[in-house]
Amino acid sequence: MLEKGCIFDIIPWRWSRRLLYWRLARLLRQNAQERRVQAAVQPATHMDQGAAAATLRRWFTEDQGETQSHQWEHDNEAVCKWLETQAGAEDSLLERNLRAIKQDAVLQACNTLVMVRTSAHPHA
């Protein structure tokens, strides 16, 4: 499976439960935050899961620094803990960015409505 790219590494059996726990916990938290990112852009555009995941990764790197960006791929525990702290804090990078995305999406939707309205009634 390693040669086929299905797994990243062979791990000792005694570490398997710990690694599986953090992988599952990370994926659950990450999927929840990806859905929040997708919902934030919803009034204006559609964002697929891959784009939402890339957005979260970019925010992780922005918050943790370029030197820690490798953790996104290789440290499920660190990413899981980051997602947990970001989701609960009102002034976290994730929450601030979600508010900004929502605001931009609403503004874009309003602009689209204005453009449609003015093009439908050019003499009004």
Tens digits of residue pLDDT in 24-38: 999 999 999 999 999
DSSP state of 123: T
Stated pTM of the model? 0.81
- Check: CB of residue 22 under 8 Å from CB of residue 77: yes
Q: Mean pLDDT across the stretch 110-116?
A: 86
- Check: CB of residue 33 under 8 Å from CB of residue 94: yes
Tens digits of residue pLDDT in 57-84: 999 999 999 999 999 999 999 999 999 9
Does the structure show a pLDDT above 60 at 124?
no
CB atoms within 10 A of CB 68: 14
Per-domain residue ranges of the chain: 16-120
Rounded to a whole number of angstroms, the CA Rg of the chain reads 19
Give one DSSP letter per residue of 38-53, joined into a string: HHHTTTT----HHHHH
Tell me the C-alpha distance between 53 and 34, whole Å.
6
pLDDT band for 6, please (50, 70, 90 cuts). Answer: low
